[in-house]
Amino acid sequence: MTASAVFDLGINVPNAQTRPAAGIPPHIQLIQMGVALWQARAVYAAAELGIADILTHGPHPLEEIARKTRTHAPSLGRLLRALASCGIVEETSPTQFATTTLGDALCDDAPGAARATILTIAGSWQWKAWDHLLHALQTGETGMQAAFGKDLFGFLSSEPHHSARFNDAMVGMHGAVASAVIAAYDFSRFRSVIDVGGGKGALLASILKAHPQMRAVLFDLPEVEKAARDYMIASGVETRCTFYGGDFFEHIPPGHDAYLLAHVLHDWKDDRAVAILHQCRHAIRTGDRLLIVEAVLPDDNTPHHGKLMDLLMLTVTGGVERSKREFEQILALASFAIADVHPTMTHQSVIEAIPV
């Protein structure tokens, strides 16, 4: 389990709009929003059954797919027909199905970790949390707490299978952010960067590959170490990156030019977010930088993916997405000030803060 980023669902779409196209009757717009769950659950079923992996070596008859997935063939045929309408599979001849280029991305080892991501964001455990959205709105308690009697990280620590999928999903969901952050912010001034709550280190590995002069520390919970080391080796940056296990509520290692908090603060309500920032302030030196990679919500009615994602934070993690003004408030409580906000080509920004 990692105490880092959670569910950045729109990172592959630059500044994704959330309003339907003009010209569609209002009742149709509303119904389209509601029926989106049908497609989500169909794709989830395909991911859970491993259909793309079965079809990766060529077309299979329906009966064989049903046998391999231990499903009822007529019912599975209805799912495959729906998936074909979405472009995920195709019916090459009557009751014989093959995968497509889109469907290939749902294979277990495909680049981008789409399968793990779908199993996480559309899986049954998160579905149960969303079933308690009204409870969250009425009480401020998360849907996770209502459904399972635990917060998200407590749930994941007790469910290794879901935790492993969750960690893989983080790589898939934040895949587009790394290149966007590197393009938007100049890291070349730094000799040493620490990624606080960095999980496997996908963002940090990309930064290191872009800046060969840099050395780094990946800081996260001790149980993440093996997966993080394996990822760094696979990325070819293991000689320049050290893993440091710990709890960012208790201590953050000092002595680095830049402190990176990527998709961390939005996991927590203000009091806990400020506690993390206080630990950063204890570690950081005058002249160093704190870099926060998160959505910065517009204060007006401008559509922004983060405004819907904020409901995910309310329901699943207990955290919150924030506007620039709200970031200024929590940073000030930990003796930081915003020096600049660097938008990226995704809906994420790099908030550059300095100690004061």
- Note whether 86 and 43 are within 8 A (CB): yes
Catalytic residue among 266, 304, 305, 347, which? 266
The confidence band for 169, taking pLDDT boundaries of 50, 70 and 90, is: confident
pLDDT, tens digit, for every residue of 310-322? 999 999 999 999 9
**Count of alpha carbons within 13 angstroms of residue 132, beta-carbon side:** 23
pLDDT in the model for residue 3: 40
What are the start-end ranges of the E strands in the chain?
Answer: 60-61, 89-93, 96-99, 192-196, 215-220, 241-245, 258-262, 289-297, 322-323, 336-343, 348-355
Residue 194 has pLDDT above 60, yes or no: yes
Q: Give mean pLDDT, residues 256-284.
A: 97
- Note whether 277 and 209 are within 8 A (CB): no
Q: Say what the pTM is.
A: 0.83
Q: Which of 44, 38, 95 is nearest to 66 (CA)?
A: 95
Q: Give mean pLDDT, residues 69-92.
A: 97
Query: Tokens in use for 72?
Result: 């009822």
List the domains of the chain with CATH numbers. 26-104 (1.10.10.10), 171-355 (3.40.50.150)
- Chain mean pLDDT for the chain: 91
Residue 297 has pLDDT above 90, yes or no: yes
- Note whether 279 and 346 are within 8 A (CB): no
Residue 99 has pLDDT above 80, yes or no: yes
Residue 4 has pLDDT above 60, yes or no: no
Annotation marks residue 305 as catalytic: no
- Note whether 165 and 157 are within 8 A (CB): no
